[in-house]
Amino acid sequence: MEIDDGYGSGAADLGTDIVTQLLLSRGVAADDLERHRMPTLRGFLPDPSKFRDMDSAAERIAQAILTDETVTIYGDYDVDGATSAALLVRLLKMLGCEARYYIPDRLLEGYGPSGEALVNIAEQGSSLIVTVDCGAMAFEALDMARNAGVDVIVVDHHKCAAELPKAAALVNPNRLDESDEAASFGHLAAVGVAFLLAIALVRTLRNRGFFEGKAEPDLMGLLDLVALGTVADVAALHGLNRAFVAQGLKVMSKRDNIGMAALIDASRLKRAPVCSDLGFALGPRINAGGRVGESTLGVRLLTTEDPDEAREISAQLSSLNEDRRAIEAAVQEAAEEQIAQQHNRAVVITSAKGWHPGVIGIVAGRIKEKTGKPAIVIAIDDETGEGKGSGRSISGVDLGAAIIAAREEGLLVAGGGHAMAAGLTIAADKLDAFADWIDERLANAVSKAQSSQTLKLDVSVAPRGLTPDLVERLEEAGPYGIGWPGPKVAVGPVHIIKADIVGTDHLRLIVGGNDGGSIKAIAFRAAETEMGQAILHAAKGRKLWLAGRAKIDDWGSRPAAELHLEDAAWAD
């Protein structure tokens, strides 16, 4: 384990409290501490008009509301797409517009808006379609919609090419022609961009006198959707995103959204959700509908006003999530058999016929974690021979840009994404050429990213020092996630009292220290790793340091602190 002694250096010299030290070590300027200590929208929200096409989009939607047009929200089938669609559907309903929604089937239609679907929506009476979490690269589909006489507004956050598809408005902080200020919000999930559009729309209607004699909609009440979509899409939790999640969790705890409350209950949470619950409990259930079930379930749940329907959908999503786990395990096992042959590859690519396209993104994430390299998993259709792929990257390697470049090189039928995740469609006979091309393109970036990896520690304590009070203090600088890493705690030196394997490849430890204290530690999916095997077969009495995230274990009669282990090093 390599320790970066400079991660928090300087903070301790200021004589500051631990929360201030955490903020300073994450790059917050000393004169900007208070804004980050309790992140609020007031402190981080930009003027939506700074984004290209934002005002045009707001004006067009306002026109649709004022003239009673039929509007359809076209979303993606993942959590970001579902929450983005639900946010706009709920907002438009507050504004007196009963918007329709359309979520494509992952297996039958694939990612992004299809021209056929857009034309069909127009033929069914919609004069305005708003795509969310998709559309930035939908050139052909938007041309078909344009020719059919329907206006399409694109609300997206994925990487854009220099040329943009023809749309009534295209709102995306990752447009290449955005101003530097607007582009600094490129880390937003689509649901965050949709929330900014909601602000712009309400302001536009206000300026037109729409709210004279009636109340404006409560936009803050939509932040639970923004928080869920942001965390589940693994968006960087700094700046505005951190404020979205911090405030969204407060809204979520009020349980005003009937569907969200049912989802929390179905996840068997007995307390108000915390940030990690959004990514590991709520998000996977919403995702399960789009991955292995009915793609509209997430939006239906998050927009329903019927408690019975909400409970029914939540139970269905929980059941689908269990099915997804089983399918995922089978694909994971098959994919890992291919990894051993790719030691010299900078990007791990696995592919096979018969793999379920709904789980390849999750499996890619697992392989990325296991190998420390970007990973792409491709499911090849038995009949057409065409592959649908999903990739996950490591910090410092922009996979989305590489996928777009591969499409422009003619190696892919379609493809796009953002820095940490991307999707693609590829002809089977291009697999080898694509693998060679992306390996060469990203080799230097991967090598540089891997060589710069260190485990940066915030706190070092003996076992007795790892207390629930310490955990609570550390969490005050949250919420944590990508781009705003959770505090890492080193505990030691310790000796192993007990080490065993529990669940699915999880390493469980009980260790004791020189101070007479003991703690429990767990390393998820680590029993077969080099670290896990070294600990399981360690000589009796040998001492080591442990490092990871401190968490509260509330299963016992009283809360205790435990360590979620990420790394270990021998102390002798």
Least confident of 145-154, 440-449, 546-555: 546-555
In whole angstroms, what is the distance from residue 397 CA to residue 419 CA? Answer: 7
Give me the mean pLDDT over the 335-354 stretch.
90
Domain 343-451, CATH number (from 3.30.470.30, 3.10.310.30, 3.10.129.10, 3.30.1490.20): 3.10.310.30
CATH of domain 46-319: 3.90.1640.30
Residue from 386, 450, 400 nearest 159 by CA: 400
In whole angstroms, what is the distance from residue 330 CA to residue 285 CA? Answer: 19
Structure tokens at 426: 């590829």
Find all residues with CB under 8 Å of 3, minimum gap 6, and list them.
454, 455, 457, 490
187-218 per-position pLDDT tens digit = 999 999 999 999 999 999 999 999 999 999 99
Give DSSP secondary structure letters for 312-378. Answer: HHHHHHHHHHHHHHHHHHHHHHHHHHHHGGGTT-SSEEEEEET--GGGHHHHHHHHHHHHSS-EEEE
Q: How many Cα atoms sit within 13 Å of 429 on the Cβ side? A: 2
pLDDT class for 556, splitting at 50, 70, 90?
A: low
Segment (H or E) for 191: helix 190-207
Find all residues with CB under 8 Å of 298, minimum gap 6, and list them.
77, 79, 82, 83, 86, 103, 286, 287, 289, 290, 317
Q: Check whether 5 has a pLDDT greater than 50.
A: no
pLDDT class for 106, splitting at 50, 70, 90?
A: confident
Backbone angle region of 396, left / alpha / beta, with phi > 0 → left and psi within -120 to 50 → alpha: left
In whole angstroms, what is the distance from residue 173 CA to residue 166 CA? Answer: 17
460-499 per-position pLDDT tens digit = 999 999 999 999 999 999 999 988 999 999 999 999 999 9
Neighbouring-strand partners of residue 521:
509, 563
DSSP state of 3: B
232-271 per-position pLDDT tens digit = 998 999 999 999 999 999 999 999 999 999 999 999 998 9
pLDDT class for 108, splitting at 50, 70, 90?
A: confident
SS3 content of the chain, % helix, strand, coil (to 5): 45, 20, 35
**Per-residue model confidence (pLDDT) at position 291:** 84
**Per-residue model confidence (pLDDT) at position 528:** 86
Burial classification of residue 399, based on how many CB atoms lie within 10 Å of its CB (0-12 exposed, 13-18 middle, 19 or more buried): buried
Look-up of token digits 């995103």: 241
Give me the mean pLDDT over the 104-115 stretch.
85
Residue type, 139: F
365-389 per-position pLDDT tens digit = 999 988 999 999 999 998 888 999 9
In whole angstroms, what is the distance from residue 225 CA to residue 86 CA? Answer: 8
- What's the start-to-end Cα distance of the chain, in Å? 13
**Per-residue model confidence (pLDDT) at position 8:** 40
Structure tokens at 199: 């602000």
Segment (H or E) for 205: helix 190-207
Percent of the chain exceeding pLDDT 70 equals 97
Give me the mean pLDDT over the 271-277 stretch.
94
For β-strands 375-380 and 348-353, DSSP reports them as parallel
In whole angstroms, what is the distance from residue 402 CA to residue 406 CA? Answer: 6
User: ∠ CA 62-68-73 to the nearest 5 degrees?
Assistant: 65
Percent of the chain exceeding pLDDT 90 equals 85
Residue from 43, 418, 391, 80 nearest 231 by CA: 80
Residue from 291, 544, 33, 402 nearest 535 by CA: 544
**Per-residue model confidence (pLDDT) at position 558:** 82
**Per-residue model confidence (pLDDT) at position 16:** 57
pLDDT class for 93, splitting at 50, 70, 90?
A: very high
In whole angstroms, what is the distance from residue 500 CA to residue 498 CA? Answer: 7
Burial classification of residue 462, based on how many CB atoms lie within 10 Å of its CB (0-12 exposed, 13-18 middle, 19 or more buried): middle
Q: Check whether 6 has a pLDDT greater than 70.
A: no
Is residue 368 a contact partner of residue 375, using CB atoms and an 8 Å limit?
yes
Q: Check whether 504 has a pLDDT greater than 90.
A: no
Domain residue ranges of the chain, discontinuous segments joined by +? 46-319, 343-451, 455-570
- CATH 2.40.50.140 correct for 455-570: yes
Least confident of 20-29, 330-339, 421-430, 551-560: 551-560
**Per-residue model confidence (pLDDT) at position 340:** 76
Least confident of 2-16, 270-284, 299-313, 457-471: 2-16
**Per-residue model confidence (pLDDT) at position 383:** 86
Give me the mean pLDDT over the 281-301 stretch.
93
pLDDT class for 4, splitting at 50, 70, 90?
A: very low
